[in-house]
Chain A
Amino acid sequence: MLRRGRAVAGAEADTPRSQRARDLLSYLAQDSVPAFARLQGSDFSGAFDQVDLVVQPELVQDKAVDIRHKEPVRLLFWPDDEYPPSVFSRRDNFPIDNVHTNFAATGDGLSLCIWEENWADLKRGLTAQALVERIRDWFARTARGELHQEGQSLEPLIPSTANTLILPSGVPPEKCYVQKAIESAGRYTLLLGASETRDTGFVEFSLFQETVEPQVHGALHARPTTLGELRDLLEPMGTDISKKLGDWIVGRMAGNDAMAVLLITIPKKSSAEAEVEAFEVIAFSPNVRLHELSVLIGRAERTPEGALGVLLGGAEPDLSAIKLHGWRVVNRIDRSLARLYSGNAAERDFKLVGIGAGAIGSHVMANTTRAGLGTWTVVDDDVLLPHNLVRQVQTNDMIGWPKAETQRALLDAILDEDGCKAIIANILDSGNERAAIDEALAEADLTVDFSASPAALGYLADAEPAARVASLFFNPDGCDLVLLAEDGNRSVRIDEIEAQYFLAAGTCRPLMRHLGSARLDMLRYANACQDLTRPLPPWQVQTLSGIAAGQLATILSDADRSRLHLWRLNPENGLVLPFSVTVSQVSRHALADFRVSVSQNAVAAMRTLRERAAPNETGGVLLGSFDLSRSVLHVLDALPAPPDSRQSPTYFERGAKDLKPHVDAIHLRSAGTIQYVGEWHSHPKGVSARPSGDDEGVFAYLQAHIEPTGSPYAMFICGEVDTWFRVGWSGCISGEGTIDHAAG
């Protein structure tokens, strides 16, 4: 295919070969839009198309760098646009030491670092105008002092195309080993570590390591390109590289003819008196291997047969003749760097406990680990089975191993910092691990229940060692994410928040189908992940788990309030809608064999209805939930009097019109959790909230009808200043209590 306007062979030297240069010339020649750039000259006879311009950047008056209103620059274009054009300043006194520069692809030394992006991506939209604008913008931003951060090297020590050294995170080890050498597309990546392992492939690398005296902060401004320049760079830093390298190489001459890697660590501090606060590591390889190097630096000579012999003295070698190639040095990341790169504002590692390494748990723990949120103690007694692979982070090679242990191994492998733990136990039946779990709960900033088990959640609610508990789970069809979280003082416990969640699921219109497909006979709000009758696409798991991971960071940064949030994902179009319920405070009462937790929401409902009916008495039924295994009753809501009730200043008879279908619907929508738990009525002003003879009759009625079913039941009387209640269960009265309205 013919290229647009491609210069034909034999074209005159006044035509650029590069389409990009031709486009630039025509942009500069037009006058319909102001270019703020003027052509000064051109030369197309060399290897590159050369175009000289004067550009006029938009400058602030107070300049950080001495950029002028008219800046002469030279652009060198590659004939086939293989690389970005190099841009050089043509001003004699241009402050090259104070601006961002790069090594020109055209090989002409330092060029202005105009292009930071991948050329293949950049050039797609780089019109002639955009090219000029980028240059003007570079000058403008340099003048404003916006182009580089303090301490950032103005000149990259090595081109980004170089071989790469990967260092451990944190302080560079005093002694490093090449642990692995990977070659790809002609470039090496060397993995360095503090312990010795050997897996370096075909090329052997020999590491020379040196730490110079601490330097006061500031970027290095010049890249050593020869051993001589490196010697000159390090000399003022207190290192005689020539001698040290020589001594080192003598000890290596008997070994293989490896490639030398010179690793120089420069400790940095902000002032002469300060402590060392950072390390810059630079690395180079000479263009010759060890044996040749030993000759070139004057420590050895070759016999006529080619054997090496050590030289004890001799002429000063010419180190400037030994060329150096720079290595790109990259540190592995630890949690604090992960926080920086992930935009996580936390200033420390949080300690976290995860109960259940299943679909949501495995993803949330992995995601938060990537964000440097902290360390997880994973509690799970399950074993990884093949079907788990669809919605967990674990992989095929881990099948058969405990989920807790595989999860821990995965988490510890994500960053260059470990610290996660595994406890292989069921939290409800932890046996010998009980003490370990209690210790983990006590140490953790947050324990997160991912188990989707109300029983596990109940256990955590009662677990006194736990500092704070949250719970994250999906609804049965995997489209909704639920987050329940205690505040830092655990003022409303996680089971009380859960009870309020069920009430919301049963009564809030937008949540009508939230638990609609739950199986009432087995699990109340989620199917076990082993249950394959309900396929759940991994993308839904990951989407909702991603939100959950983000919320954990938020919860940890704010311990002041309890939370009850839902996110509803529409699998058809990917829309996610958030939904929040304000957590009601509770009034907690320990009776003889039962605990009663009454939400302020329920008391407020009774008081409002009482006021509204005055001077008549009124009443209705109570809604709540209970956990017989833990002997807990949650009283959550008080319904108004049905329309066929009889209300007068001295008595109240509750009617029943439409009541049963209403309560049944709530029961169904809450996956069978929210149910009728008793009766309430009001006492008028001036009458104490204590049972009258008639009221005792009502309680006896409840006792007669509910007692045999095994459910707990309650009678509440709402008065002017307080609310009185009595709870019965299993053949006896568990106890009575009052809730002072003023305290609410």
Chain B
Amino acid sequence: MPKVTFFPIGNADTCLIELDNDRRTLFDFADMRNPDDKDDKRCDLEGEIRARLDGGNEIDVVAFTHLDTDHCKRASEVFWLNHAEKYQDDDRIKIKTMWVPATAILEEGVKGQARTLRSEARHRFIEGEGIRVFGRPDALNDFLKERGIDPAKRRNLISDAGTLAPEFNLAADGIEFFVLSPFAEHCEDDTYKRNDTAIFMQATFDVDERLTRLLLSADVGHEVIDDIIRITRKKKNDDRLIWDINNVPHHTSYLSLAAEKGKDETEPGERIAWLYEDQGTKGALLVSTSCPIPGNDDSDQPPHRQAANYYKRVAKGHDGEFLVTMDHPSSTKPKPLEIEIGKKGFSVTKSAGGSAALLTGAAPRAGRGGR
């Protein structure tokens, strides 16, 4: 069964998708834990990811939705990077294809981790392999021309919103990725707002013809989400906004729902309300990749309880659940949130320590007569 895993890493994103044919996709990698702090409840992300590779050392696709620290921390220490030898040793995890938004290549003045990943993305793009760039701003053509490369020769590495990412398809992989954002128009802004040009996708799983849809929405703000909905609906792609599982944006920040926080519950605009309330399926799941929801408004940082209250109401309306990564199964001992995708839709693994249920289940004993 295909599996989707969200990791407890505080207000940060990492989502691993494992397929039945052993192909894997990793959305973001942010190893936030402070190993010197024994009270840090965030997981050892590198260890958790490696444990799920079953001894392999390559991931088919690693997507960096944008280059904020909470989406790429320690990536340059864990992954094999093609652009410089110092990032190359046998212990590193190789990335077959890197997915980045156009911004990740074009952005200027970046430092640290983001700069290293930009170098890697640029290197792969210039070399012409192992990368897919999302969004097609004119600036990308300029970038290529400045380096003496004919933009037409790189067109196959660029995917627009409104298309399927060609690395996977339903027939062979049991999954497809539909690009909802970035749009070219978002990328043209000179300021390159990272959050708003991030990769926003709908993944569709097919298990025995039961489709399960997962929305991966990074840190996009409400105006951009509103735009995504407007444009997607204009193109008659309403189905591409259906969701069974929704990784709600930006660690349950109210700013991904509306400009106003609201007193006890954030009230989104009409379009965003449609996305959550009408496009969610029966039993749908909302996942907040964040710290536990606070009971007060002491901090400006997400998660915001007003946004969480809205999502909880949405979950209830769908007869579903709203789960928080740092609160699953408990805030004292958070564990990776694993979701199995099957022919009866998804199910969140809720396994008690050990295999108690399995071992003491009502196994029939032969030879004593049926009962």
Contacts and interface: CB of A to CB of B under 8 A. Distances in A.
B370 interface: yes
Main secondary structure of the interface of A (DSSP, over half): loop
A130 B360 contact: yes
A61 B352 contact: no
A703 B231 CA distance: 104
A169 interface: no
B344 A144 contact: yes
A136 B349 CA distance: 12
Interface in B112-165: none
Specify which of B319, B329, B344 lies most central, judged by the most chain A CB atoms within 10 Å of its CB. Answer: B344
Given A133-B357, A341-B370, A61 B346 contact: yes
A611 interface: no
B65 interface: no
Contact of B350 (A56, A116, A127, A129): A56
B329 A34 contact: yes
B342 A134 contact: no
A137 interface: yes
Interface string B312-345: 0000000111000000011011010000001011
Interface string A74-86: 0000000000000
Interface in A101-156: 115-117, 125-127, 129-130, 132-134, 136-137, 144
B354 interface: yes
A486 to B, nearest CB: 34
A59 interface: yes
B2 to A, nearest CB: 14
B295 interface: no
A116 B349 contact: no
Contact of A136 (B284, B333, B357): B357
A117 B368 CA distance: 11
A125 B283 CA distance: 34
A137 B345 contact: no
Nearest to B283: A61
Contacts of A58: 347-351
A56 B210 CA distance: 25
B371 interface: yes
B171 interface: no
Contacts of B342: 60
Contacts of A61: 212, 244, 281-285, 344-347
A228 to B, nearest CB: 31
Nearest to A160: B371
A31 B330 contact: yes
B256 to A, nearest CB: 24
B329 A36 contact: yes
A34 B330 contact: yes
A129 B352 contact: yes
B311 to A, nearest CB: 15
B356 A127 contact: yes
Contact of A33 (B352, B357, B362): B352
Contact of B356 (A59, A62, A116, A130): A130
A132 B284 CA distance: 25
A33 to B, nearest CB: 3
Contacts of A63: 283, 344
A532 to B, nearest CB: 33
B346 to A, nearest CB: 5
A32 B335 CA distance: 12
A32 B353 contact: yes
B361 interface: yes
Interface string A48-80: 000000001111111100101100000000000
A56 B283 CA distance: 14
A62 B285 CA distance: 12
A35 interface: yes
B357 A34 contact: no
Contacts of B357: 130, 133-134, 136-137
A60 B344 contact: yes
Contacts of A66: 319
Contacts of B320: 69
Specify which of B353, B360, B371 lies most central, judged by the most chain A CB atoms within 10 Å of its CB. Answer: B360
A202 to B, nearest CB: 28
A33 B332 CA distance: 11
Contacts of B285: 61
Given A144-B344, A341-B370, A136 B350 contact: yes
A36 B281 CA distance: 24
Interface of B: 210, 212, 244, 281-285, 319-321, 329-330, 332-333, 335, 342, 344-354, 356-357, 359-362, 370-371
29 contacts: A31-B333, A33-B353, A34-B333, A34-B351, A36-B329, A56-B350, A58-B347, A58-B349, A59-B347, A61-B345, A61-B346, A63-B283, A66-B319, A68-B319, A69-B320, A69-B321, A116-B362, A117-B362, A127-B360, A129-B354, A130-B356, A130-B359, A132-B352, A133-B356, A133-B360, A134-B361, A134-B362, A136-B352, A144-B344
Given A31-B332, A116-B371, A130-B360, 20 more contacts: A32-B333, A34-B330, A34-B333, A34-B350, A36-B350, A56-B350, A58-B348, A59-B348, A61-B344, A61-B345, A61-B347, A63-B344, A68-B319, A129-B352, A130-B356, A130-B357, A130-B359, A132-B352, A134-B357, A134-B361
